[in-house]
A = this chain, B = another copy of it.
Amino acid sequence: MNERMKSIEEMTQALRDAGIRVTRQRAALLSVLAEAGDHPDAPELHRRAEAAVPGISLSTVYRTLSTLESQGVIQRHQFEGASARFESAETDHHDHMIDVDTGEVIEFASDRIERLQAEIAAELGYEIVHHRMELYVRKTSDS
């Protein structure tokens, strides 16, 4: 049992503790999400989950994604002009760069920016509940 499976065990237990049944479909999605190194959208997750649960319906995928999101197990990202994409929430906080040519998503983090954001909000009398920062980028062509 590797690291990955272990964390799935933990997640399923957390769900059970929250009174949420761990059905085959939910377990499949949990597993697919844990193994995903990218940021798949619902139809793609559906496709991947079908390997474990043939016949799983897309609506169940959507429903499960919402459930998992509200349990804080996964995160939903709505990038420009695209359908929602998901990722496991086990990772540390980070923001995203989206390659506008390929659609590839690159993660990054900057404490300095986060600090500045908090500062700016505080100056105006606000505290940050959460934020969203996306850089739409293109590979530098300085060949």
| Residues on B with beta carbons closer than 8 Å to the beta carbon of A124 | 97, 106, 108
User: A132: which of B116, B122, B134, B138 is its contact (CB, 8 Å)?
Assistant: B134
User: A136: which of B78, B129, B137, B140 is its contact (CB, 8 Å)?
Assistant: B129
> What 0/1 readout, one digit per residue, does chain A (110-143) give for beta carbons within 8 Å of chain B?
1011001100111011111111111111111000
- Report how many residues on chain A are interfacial, defined by Cβ distance under 8 Å: 32
A116-B112, A116-B113 as given contacts; A128 in contact with B136, CB under 8 Å: yes
> What 0/1 readout, one digit per residue, does chain A (14-28) give for beta carbons within 8 Å of chain B?
000000000000000
Q: Is A92's CB within 8 Å of the partner chain B?
A: no
Determine whether the beta carbon of A138 is less than 8 Å from that of B126. Answer: yes
| Residues on B with beta carbons closer than 8 Å to the beta carbon of A78 | 78, 80
Determine whether the beta carbon of B140 is less than 8 Å from that of A127. Answer: yes
| Residues on B with beta carbons closer than 8 Å to the beta carbon of A51 | none
Bound CA–CA A116/B119 (angstroms): 15
Across the A-B interface, the 8 shortest Cβ-Cβ residue pairs: A126-B137, A133-B133, A129-B136, A132-B134, A131-B135, A127-B140, A113-B116, A130-B136
